[in-house]
């Protein structure tokens, strides 16, 4: 921080430093890895299956859907990448620093697993192509395959070879990708040119619709093809190795999507015009989808130079596996450095000056080898599709939360982003998951949700959390909407303000308030203190300390509410001003709750009386809490809440509070008894009938008991409710106005009762609403 010529302070922000390993640009670090991953095994081994089973039009729809999902996801990813400094960890780093470790961890682990499984997927494709070419009938390979799991052994050997290249470091892997890209592009040119020269209009016309002999469904083929569109995070996963990730990730990824979309579009159209549908795909005897090299052979026949397709499939599958081998360990390494889970820190350590994630690379190797021995190409493709879809859905959801939340800090340099597009991407991913396989979708969602909730609440001062901004945006909108609505008794809810001079001393008052709120309204604890000799700054420091202490009390007793404190020169003198300002628009307290001090504390009683007198003009409901002699029995089963009827006005609020208390977990299955005293037989019959009808009309499950007696009501209350767990009595306005005299008169009664609430209603609550 420095001073300019006018004496004003100027804040100089430190320029973000890239690590020493940042050495790749847009083409080498993003475009090429994305293209090599996208133009992978599906292009050579399964695109023909899609056309052969569902026809040209549906194949184009599948391509459009897959590219739409990945394009929307890339736009979301680009917005996040251009709104924050990006370091090692790619998508995980960006999301975790935007929405917190819960979202970031869920996406990070999902992407790590999907990319580790992808290694096996691409190598299985390579092996299938290899054996399709060299393991014909009678060959040595076919004879070996009859006696040994030769394909699995070959796949394992190939994975170990790629592992060796990756283990040497990203520099070696990046240098290898350029000759691989050259071979791949030569192969693509070969089959596109060959397809154009061999194009047959009759085949093209016949292949427009679905194959009538096929029983493979549209969504099964979508799941099979979708891995062809994945790979968009291959560049983002190299974020720590990029010179300018905020520039390279959006440009390189979108360019790769556009380029590969054109390649797949031309391939699908040309394959539809090359041969009969039965020759383009692999079919079971019943017309289903079969693991087999038929689509690859069709592409070889279509190519201008057949061996180029062979070289291309080898290059594509191995390069895609290489890209996944580079990306997956870096995600896990970043998560390990953040120590999200116990034991994960082991994988955060890097090797050498480039901080190569060798430990995470070994784990990726182990996962890939296990997958090779568990499933074939089609089965693994569906699993990969599910994991990538849920990862992409969460990326879109993250961007939606940022965009819709309207945080001023969300200022992405990528201008093609809008939150409706992010929402559409998230919904599209969810729909596609369910359509592919409901069971897989549910399992994948449960796994992601489990990770999210396991990490929920973990945070760091260095991490952002845009969820708070989204919640603020929704809260703001709801408050403005609430402001324009007319209050109605049917929508009455308790907005309780617990007023205290010492929350530590009155923790049972806070607990009791939570019973009356019971998750249906709002509860705030306001501690007011007098500090006449201190200046404002000192009083604010005390206020901060008080709020933290009250929050601790709320947390300790599992009370959901707000903590607040006011430190003023004179609590009684300034109380009315405090309560006047204690609101946001129309959302202000409607119920005041205070405790009755013990008889010996006459000074405290006097202060409470002065506070009630100061707040009388506000017209609030008033609840006085008096702890009782049997508080220790409240945890027993079969609890009872006794409500002594005190006229329609007070009775409505008493009954509502009793109902709300019974909704609280502390009072679950409690019995509510509604008692009323009358002095004659005529009153007894009328009161019993009217009370029963009133409770039925109010839809309250209570036991009505009308007591016929000439004895003092206080004696009846002690006799009937002395062993209850909670007692509710009514108040008159003069009882509150003359608080000290009232509680002095009632002390003999209250001393003989369990915890007791004395309630004065302002008439807003209506039992029959």
Taking alpha carbons only, the member of 422, 102, 70 closest to residue 256 is 70
DSSP-derived 3-state class of residue 172 = helix
pLDDT score at 461: 44
Task: Please give the residue that has the higher pLDDT: either 195 or 405.
Answer: 195
Q: How many other C-beta atoms lie within 10 A of the C-beta of residue 502?
A: 12
Distance CA 493, CA 682 (A): 37
- Dump pLDDT digits (tens) for 221-231: 888 888 888 87
- 76 vs 102, 236, 476, CA distance in Å? 18, 12, 25
Range in 25-34, 166-175, 343-352, 662-671 the model is least confident about? 166-175
Residue 457 pLDDT grade (very low, low, confident, very high; cuts 50, 70, 90): low
Distance CA 728, CA 753 (A): 10
Distance CA 154, CA 141 (A): 11
Task: Please give the residue that has the higher pLDDT: either 238 or 329.
Answer: 329
- Dump pLDDT digits (tens) for 462-510: 555 556 666 777 777 777 777 777 777 777 888 899 999 999 999 999 9
For residues 678-705, give the mean pLDDT.
81
Q: Is the pLDDT of residue 6 over 50?
A: no
- Dump pLDDT digits (tens) for 239-260: 766 778 778 888 899 999 999 9
Q: Name the CA radius of gyration of the chain, rounded.
A: 36
Give the start-end residues of each E strand in 608-714. 621-626, 640-644, 671-678, 703-708
pLDDT score at 146: 57
Q: Is the pLDDT of residue 38 over 80?
A: yes
Residue 542 pLDDT grade (very low, low, confident, very high; cuts 50, 70, 90): very high
Residue 9 pLDDT grade (very low, low, confident, very high; cuts 50, 70, 90): very low
Query: Do 385 and 53 form a contact (C-beta atoms < 8 A)?
Result: no
Tokens of 218: 């549209």
- Dump pLDDT digits (tens) for 584-601: 777 888 889 999 999 989
Taking alpha carbons only, the member of 675, 674, 743, 656 closest to residue 713 is 675
pLDDT score at 171: 65
Which residues, 6 or more positions from 19, have their beta carbon under 8 angstroms from its beta carbon? Answer: 87, 88, 240, 355
Query: Do 324 and 40 form a contact (C-beta atoms < 8 A)?
Result: no
Most confident by average pLDDT, 9-18, 295-304, 755-764: 755-764
Arithmetic mean of pLDDT over the chain: 81
Distance CA 616, CA 611 (A): 9
Tokens of 140: 């040595």
Query: Do 237 and 90 form a contact (C-beta atoms < 8 A)?
Result: yes
Q: Is the pLDDT of residue 186 over 80?
A: yes
Q: How many other C-beta atoms lie within 10 A of the C-beta of residue 697?
A: 10
For residues 598-616, give the mean pLDDT.
90
Q: Is the pLDDT of residue 766 over 80?
A: no
Most confident by average pLDDT, 9-13, 14-18, 163-167, 269-273: 269-273
- Dump pLDDT digits (tens) for 74-119: 998 888 888 776 666 667 777 777 777 777 788 788 888 888 888 8
pLDDT score at 460: 52
pLDDT > 90 in the chain, percent: 18
pLDDT score at 284: 54
Strand partners, 258: none
Range in 51-55, 377-381, 564-568 the model is least confident about? 377-381
Q: Is the pLDDT of residue 10 over 70?
A: no
Q: How many other C-beta atoms lie within 10 A of the C-beta of residue 213?
A: 12
Q: Is the pLDDT of residue 14 over 50?
A: no
For residues 331-351, give the mean pLDDT.
80
pLDDT score at 638: 75
Task: Please give the residue that has the higher pLDDT: either 212 or 259.
Answer: 259
């Amino acid at each position: 921080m420095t001073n300019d010529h006018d004496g004003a302070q100027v804040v100089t922000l430190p320029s973000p430093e890239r690590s020493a390993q940042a050495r790749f640009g847009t083409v080498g670090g993003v475009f090429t890895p994305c293209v090599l991953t996208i133009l992978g095994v599906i292009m050579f081994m399964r695109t023909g299956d899609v056309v052969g089973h569902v026809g040209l039009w549906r194949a184009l729809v599948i391509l459009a859907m897959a590219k739409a999902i990945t394009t929307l996801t890339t736009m979301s990813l680009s917005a996040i990448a251009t709104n924050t400094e990006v370091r090692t960890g790619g998508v995980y780093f960006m999301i975790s620093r935007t929405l917190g470790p819960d979202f970031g961890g869920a996406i990070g682990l999902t992407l790590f697993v999907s990319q580790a499984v992808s290694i096996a997927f691409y190598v299985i494709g390579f092996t299938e192509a290899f054996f399709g070419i060299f393991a014909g009938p009678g060959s040595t390979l076919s004879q070996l395959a009859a006696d040994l799991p030769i394909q699995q052994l070959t796949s394992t050997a190939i994975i170990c070879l790629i592992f060796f290249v990756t283990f040497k470091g990203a520099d070696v892997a990046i240098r290898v990708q350029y000759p691989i890209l050259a071979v791949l592009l030569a192969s693509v040119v070969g089959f596109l040119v060959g397809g154009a020269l061999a194009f047959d209009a009759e085949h093209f016309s016949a292949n427009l619709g679905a194959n009538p002999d096929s029983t493979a469904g549209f969504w099964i083929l979508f799941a099979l093809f979708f891995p062809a569109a994945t790979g968009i995070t291959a560049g983002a996963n190299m974020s720590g190795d990029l010179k300018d990730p905020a520039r390279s990730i959006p440009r390189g990824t979108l360019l790769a999507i556009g380029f590969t979309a054109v390649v797949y579009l031309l391939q699908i159209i040309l394959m539809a015009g090359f041969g009969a549908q039965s020759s383009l795909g692999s079919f079971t005897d019943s017309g289903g989808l079969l693991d087999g090299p038929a689509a690859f052979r069709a592409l070889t026949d279509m190519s201008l130079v057949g061996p180029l397709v062979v070289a291309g499939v080898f290059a594509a599958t191995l390069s895609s596996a290489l890209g996944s081998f580079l990306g997956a360990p870096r995600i896990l390494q970043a998560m390990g450095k953040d120590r999200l889970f116990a034991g994960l820190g082991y994988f955060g350590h890097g090797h050498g000056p480039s901080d190569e994630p060798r430990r995470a690379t070994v784990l990726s190797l182990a996962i890939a080898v296990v997958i090779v021995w568990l499933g074939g190409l089609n089965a693994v493709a569906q699993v990969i599709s599910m994991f990538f879809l849920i990862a992409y859905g969460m990326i879109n959801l993250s961007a939606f939360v940022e965009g819709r939340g309207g945080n001023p800090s969300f200022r992405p340099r990528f201008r093609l982003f809008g939150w409706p597009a992010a929402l559409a991407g998230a919904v599209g991913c969810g729909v596609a998951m369910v359509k592919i396989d409901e069971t897989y979708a549910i399992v994948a969602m449960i796994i992601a949700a489990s990770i999210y909730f396991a990490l929920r609440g973990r945070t760091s001062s260095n991490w952002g959390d845009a969820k708070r901004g989204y919640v603020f945006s929704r809260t703001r909108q709801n408050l403005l909407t609430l402001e324009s609505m007319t209050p109605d008794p049917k929508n009455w809810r308790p907005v309780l303000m617990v007023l205290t001079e010492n929350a530590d001393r009155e923790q049972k008052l806070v607990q009791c308030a939570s019973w009356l709120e019971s998750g249906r309204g709002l509860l705030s604890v306001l501690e007011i203190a007098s500090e006449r000799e201190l200046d404002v700054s000192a009083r604010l420091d005390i206020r901060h300390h008080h709020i933290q202490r009250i929050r601790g009390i709320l947390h300790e007793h599992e009370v959901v509410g707000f903590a607040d404190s006011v430190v003023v020169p004179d609590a009684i003198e300034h109380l009315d001003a405090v309560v006047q300002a204690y609101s946001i628009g129309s959302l202000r307290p409607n119920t005041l709750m205070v405790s009755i001090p013990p008889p010996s504390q006459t000074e405290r009683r006097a202060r409470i009386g002065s506070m009630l007198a100061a707040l009388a003009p506000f017209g609030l409901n008033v609840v006085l809490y008096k702890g009782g002699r049997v508080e220790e029995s409240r945890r027993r089963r079969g609890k009872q809440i006794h409500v002594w009827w005190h006229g329609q006005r007070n009775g409505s609020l008493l009954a509502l509070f009793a109902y709300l208390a019974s909704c609280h977990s502390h009072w679950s299955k409690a019995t509510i008894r509604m008692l009323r005293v009358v002095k004659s037989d005529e009153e007894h019959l009328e009161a019993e009938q009217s009370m029963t009808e009133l409770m039925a009309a109010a839809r309250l499950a209570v036991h009505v008991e009308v007591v016929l007696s000439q004895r003092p009501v206080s004696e009846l209350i002690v006799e009937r409710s002395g062993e209850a767990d909670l007692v509710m009595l009514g108040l008159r306005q003069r009882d509150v106005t003359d608080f000290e005299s009232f509680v002095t008169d009632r002390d003999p009664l209250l001393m003989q009762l369990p915890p007791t609430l004395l309630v004065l209603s302002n008439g807003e609550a209506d039992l029959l609403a």
